[in-house]
Amino acid sequence: MELEEMKTLWSEMSQEIEKQQRLTDKLIIDMTQERYTSKFSKIQMYESIGALVCFSIAFFIIANLGKLDTWYLMTFGGIAVAFLILMPILVLRSINRIKRLNIATNSYKETIIGFTRAKKELLSTQRFGIYLSFVIVLVIMPVTSKILNNKDFFIMDHGVRLWILVPILFLFLFFFSRWGYGCYKSITNSAENILNELED
């Protein structure tokens, strides 16, 4: 098939499509309304669940700050609270940036650039969160140990349980992060290629 043939064929197909218009007024309105509703509930769900869990834990720690009676437990508690509040805000902000892209006024090129950059930012934020979660696990263990059991993690007798639980936890985090990183990397690479192409 030659290019000119493609163009002719496309034009013939377009003429046929024009003859077959099937959308009714009701269908157009229903379709739009459904999409609007589904989008609204989806945004509501995504934005609330993750943030709610993190904020609840942060609130729990803040409410029990009085139990953290040493300078290092207070520091660990502060770091955990900061992470649990800031991380969801950063992710939500990145998601919001993608959503806010003005496709009505932006050109095709601007949308690709805007979307790709916003996506890269979102992926970097999520990747940053995954790596930081390794540190946060270590930070949050002494905090929860003190709040829930009133025991100082650094001077208590841990027994065998800790030596089994911690490696399992880290193993899980390692594989989860590796999987997550793999996904993010491939998406980011393709985003990078598109940007490079635009700079040609």
Partner 1 sequence: MHRKKEFIDIIKQHEGIIYKVSKVYANDKEDQKDLYQEIVYQLWKSVDSFKGKAKISTWIYRIALNTSITFLNQQKRKSRQVAVDFELLDGIDDQDSIMEERIQTLYTHIKGLNIIEKGLILLFLEGKSYDEIALVTGFTNTNVGTRLGRIKQKLKDQIKK
- Residue 35 binding partner 1, by CB under 8 A: yes
Q: Please select the residue that binds partner 1; options are 66, 71, 100, 107, rule is CB under 8 A.
A: 107
Q: Please say which residue, 39 or 158, places its beta carbon nearer to partner 1.
A: 39
Q: Please select the residue that binds partner 1; options are 30, 86, 93, 183, rule is CB under 8 A.
A: 30
Candidate segments 30-38, 73-81, 130-138, 147-155, binder of partner 1 by CB under 8 A = 30-38
**Contact track, partner 1, 137-176, x by CB under 8 A:** ----------------------------------------
Q: Record the tokens describing residue 59, joined without a space.
A: 């609130």
159: phi > 0 → left, psi -120 to 50 → alpha, else beta; which?
Answer: left
Least distance between partner 1 and beta carbon 43 (Å): 11
Angle at 83 between CA 80 and CA 88, to 5 degrees: 140
CA distances 15 to 1, 7, 9, 27, 28, Å, are 20, 12, 10, 23, 22
Which amino acid would we find at residue 81? Answer: V
Dihedral sign computed on CA atoms, order 60, 63, 65, 68: negative
Q: Please select the residue that binds partner 1; options are 43, 75, 96, 104, rule is CB under 8 A.
A: 104
- Residue 110 binding partner 1, by CB under 8 A: yes
- Residue 22 binding partner 1, by CB under 8 A: yes
- Residue 112 binding partner 1, by CB under 8 A: yes
Q: How many helices (H) and strands (E) does the chain have?
A: 5, 0
Candidate segments 12-20, 53-61, 73-81, 127-135, binder of partner 1 by CB under 8 A = 12-20
- 74 near 40, Cβ under 8 Å? no
Angle at 169 between CA 163 and CA 170, to 5 degrees: 90
- Smallest Cα–Cα separation from 65: which of 74, 56, 53? 74
- Residue 192 binding partner 1, by CB under 8 A: no
For partner 1, how many residues bind (rule: CB under 8 A)?
49
Radius of gyration from C-alpha coordinates of the chain: 25
- Residues lying near partner 1 in the complex (CB under 8 A) are found at 1-3, 6-7, 9-14, 16-18, 20-23, 25, 27-32, 34-39, 42, 98, 101, 103-112, 115, 119, 194, 197-198
